[in-house]
Chains A and B, each alone.
Chain A
Amino acid sequence: MDPATYAWLVLLFPLVGSMVIALGWRALPGKTAGWIGTFAIAAAFLSSLGMLAMLLDEPSDSRQIVDSLYEYASAFGLEIQLAVLVDPLSVFMCLVVTGVSMLIHLYSVAYLDSDRGYARFFSYLNFFVFSMLVLILAGNFIFLIVGWAFVGFASYALISFWYRRGTATKAGMKAFVINVLGDVGLYLAAFLVFRELGTFDFLTSFEAAREEFTTNQGVVVAICLLLLVGAFAKSAQVPLHTWLPDAMEGPTPVSALIHAATMVTAGVYLIARMFPFFELAPTAADIAAFIGLATLVIAATIALVVTDLKRIIAYSTMSQIGYMVMGVSIGAYGAGLFHLMTHAFFKALLFMAAGSVIAAMANIQNIDRMGGFRRAMPLTSGLLIIGCLALAGFPGTSGFFSKDEILVYAAERGGMYWIFAVGGYIAAFLTAFYSFRIGFRVVAGKPVEEARELEQGHLAHGEPVNPATGEPEDTDVGFPGPEHHIAERAKPMAIAMSILGVLAIVGGWIQIPGVDHVLETFFEPTFEESHLYHLVPSTGTAWLGLLVGGVIALAGIGLAYLCYVARPGITLRWKERFGGLHRFLERKWYFDEIQDALVYRPAIAIGRFANSVFERFIVDGIVNGAVGIVRASSATVRGAQSGFLRAYALLLVGGFAALGIYFLVVSQ
């Protein structure tokens, strides 16, 4: 079979899984729905492996295969094929998405066990994977937009999955609205590409762009900026990031899958995929890189003070995606995508471990309430620490190699790009600190009541309350369910987390400077035409970067150890001394308030104005005026309609008589 056939299979399995679960949920007993979903994704993962094997069989210069299922639309020279593009980039993304999704499905089989929306959850989750794969495999802008919008919907459905929670439904709406804003950017970019180049096809438009556009021509910069709007909304970059922390209202596996490992990296994928445009518009690429850096730093600082466990990880996700966006924008495509992969491993792992801890705390998410889980939950604690090490970039772990590769590339490009390297290393220090803020607060310290209970073998079961607001929860359908599941007691969760734990450590070993460069070689066919891709830092520089990164990571971890283990009171004193700064960070740099003042309030004010003035006086005026005119003009005619039969008869006879007389007079 050729790679394209496998690509269609990759798309088919999750779609079929979603359909089967959605239509047959009544007939599926127990955990069947979960297993169907998991095996559908496993089949997709195997097909992705098949796609990879077939692609590697092709000679290196023909590893970009376009295959069309049928012609979607054809008119006036416009031909839209329902086409997939199979090349190293899409195959790589397919492997990451299906691989991580498979493990998260496996985790969810146990984690969501007591939820009454069990089948609904897996149907949504399979649909999400299908959408994401459509987005990745799309061979033209139209198909890409379809996947892009599907993914937005799937995200909305899963954030609002516990629809009895008011906060969850609101968070879903917020995510959807911001995502749609990004969709509009993507649509406009696609229209511009079509207007200028006359095609929606990726490869054709890339070819045409190189011939038609000159560097930094206005149109191509506009295309890139519009693409960036789409990418930033999906990837939660400043200032379109506020939906991501709120999206933590969804179930924890959803946070792991959609809002850490896969969907939010769609923006990174988009920038990498559209690299011919971005290389023609260096201005737009630099803007993207600066926004990536800003997000990286802003999110890292917020993650220092947030107390909600899942939200810390969410801000860390934003921050790590900032690295990726920065990487692919400055031309470090291989490094950016490498970090995408390692991040998918350790961030999914962190979320899974967090889910297990939150379950042990009976849905309490505040890290100030946690502590001392190392004896009660050895497996979860160990894996959480592995996740934190990888996130912090501890030497040897996956995050260590991938993060530094981006920063070394930035330094290698020199000039202005030094800013990115320096900023990246500063944020790396913050990252190391906040990741071990999580690690030490949860694992180390005196065991809290829940941890002591668990050591005795009792899993805490509190009254169900909303972790965000503390309100008692409606326990009907659409609520997390009364049972809690921890990795120590649920095998599927333990297996999924252990595999990711191994990957979080060894995932970076495929790309060690001077040792091997698997990804670098693999991506070669996709980025062949790029003039930035072939800029590779020397092994010496790369190792110097790794050394700096390692020292910074160790320093961050050391500071965290000092603050949270050696002298636990120290952070409280800092909080008092830098009260203003703390409040500023705790309010998340006031982004929500700024958006509220700049967008929400004006929109509401315009709405009020439209309702009270425009609607009442102008629209109602026109409608009521038309009614009044008809009524007034009909009043005179209505008088004739008296209802007196004899009056009608008189009119009839009189009329005929008048006509007769008239004709008599005329004929004379």
Chain B
Amino acid sequence: MDIAWYLVLSALLFAIGAGGVLLRRNPLVILLCLELMLNAANLALVAFARSTGTQEGQVFALVVMVVAACEVVIGLGLIVAMFRRQLPLDVDDARKLHG
């Protein structure tokens, strides 16, 4: 199968994720969209690895998954903290660090 299809799918997933990050205000959804972007990148990596027959891309995908797991832990931790303090779950309201 042509690698182009994989890349098109990957690009689509990435665009959806990026759009979600930019448009949605709920931090939980933003986190989900970030995951989507990371996995789109993973898909592209694995597809390239497959087409060239090398290992590096797959290994790299595994590393990205680890990073994604860490990122989710921190992100969810933040969201739980916001919930506990009864802050509104809206990233537009959390802007106290403006200059």
Contacts and interface: CB of A to CB of B under 8 A. Distances in A.
Q: When A and B form their complex, which 7 residue pairs have the shortest distance between CB atoms, in order from nearest?
A: A643-B98, A643-B95, A641-B99, A638-B99, A645-B91, A649-B21, A642-B98
28 contacts: A637-B99, A638-B99, A640-B99, A641-B98, A641-B99, A642-B95, A642-B98, A642-B99, A643-B94, A643-B95, A643-B96, A643-B97, A643-B98, A643-B99, A644-B91, A644-B92, A644-B98, A645-B91, A645-B92, A645-B94, A645-B95, A646-B21, A646-B23, A646-B91, A646-B92, A649-B22, A653-B21, A653-B22
Nearest to A639: B99
B17 to A, nearest CB: 10
Interface string A621-660: 0000000000000000111111111100110010000000
Interface centre among A639, A640, A649 (most CB of B within 10 A): A649
Given A637-B99, A644-B95, A646-B92, 14 more contacts: A639-B99, A640-B99, A641-B98, A642-B98, A642-B99, A643-B95, A643-B97, A643-B99, A644-B91, A644-B98, A645-B92, A645-B94, A649-B22, A650-B22
Interface residues of B, number: 14
Interface in B43-87: none
Contacts of B30: 645
Contacts of B22: 646, 649-650, 653
Interface of B: 18, 21-23, 25, 30, 91-92, 94-99
B54 to A, nearest CB: 24
Contacts of A643: 94-99
A649 B19 CA distance: 10
Contacts of B25: 646
A649 B17 CA distance: 12
Interface of A: 637-646, 649-650, 653
Contacts of A646: 21-23, 25, 91-92
A295 B21 CA distance: 94
Nearest to B94: A645
A588 B25 CA distance: 89
B18 A653 contact: yes
Contacts of A645: 30, 91-92, 94-95
Contacts of B94: 643, 645
B26 to A, nearest CB: 11
Contacts of B95: 642-645
A643 B18 CA distance: 19
Contacts of B23: 646
A667 to B, nearest CB: 18
Contacts of A653: 18, 21-22
B7 to A, nearest CB: 14
A645 B91 CA distance: 6
A644 B25 CA distance: 10
A419 to B, nearest CB: 83
A645 B97 CA distance: 10
A644 B96 CA distance: 9
A638 B22 CA distance: 22
B30 to A, nearest CB: 8
B25 to A, nearest CB: 7
B47 to A, nearest CB: 19
A645 B92 CA distance: 7
Contacts of A640: 99
B78 to A, nearest CB: 11
A351 to B, nearest CB: 74
Nearest to A637: B99
Contacts of A650: 22
Contacts of B91: 644-646
A642 B91 CA distance: 12
Contacts of B98: 641-644
B19 to A, nearest CB: 9
Nearest to A635: B99
Nearest to A650: B22
A29 B3 CA distance: 102
B93 to A, nearest CB: 10
A541 B21 CA distance: 116
A651 to B, nearest CB: 10
Nearest to A657: B18
Contacts of B99: 637-643
Nearest to B96: A643
Nearest to B19: A653
A649 B95 CA distance: 14
A99 B12 CA distance: 106
A660 to B, nearest CB: 12
Nearest to A653: B18
A646 B27 CA distance: 11
A637 B99 CA distance: 9
Nearest to A634: B99
A640 B98 CA distance: 9
A509 B58 CA distance: 114
A649 B18 CA distance: 9
A528 B7 CA distance: 108
Contacts of B96: 643
Most buried by A among B94, B97, B98: B98
Nearest to B33: A649
A639 B98 CA distance: 9
A638 B97 CA distance: 12
A642 B95 CA distance: 7
A367 B30 CA distance: 98
Contacts of A644: 91-92, 95, 98
Nearest to B91: A645
B20 to A, nearest CB: 10
Contacts of B18: 653
A644 B94 CA distance: 8
A644 B93 CA distance: 8
Contacts of A641: 98-99
A637 B98 CA distance: 12
B71 to A, nearest CB: 14
A619 B71 CA distance: 52
Nearest to B92: A644
A642 B96 CA distance: 9
Nearest to A641: B99
A634 to B, nearest CB: 9
A92 B30 CA distance: 96
A639 B21 CA distance: 22
Nearest to B95: A643
A637 B94 CA distance: 21
A640 B99 CA distance: 8
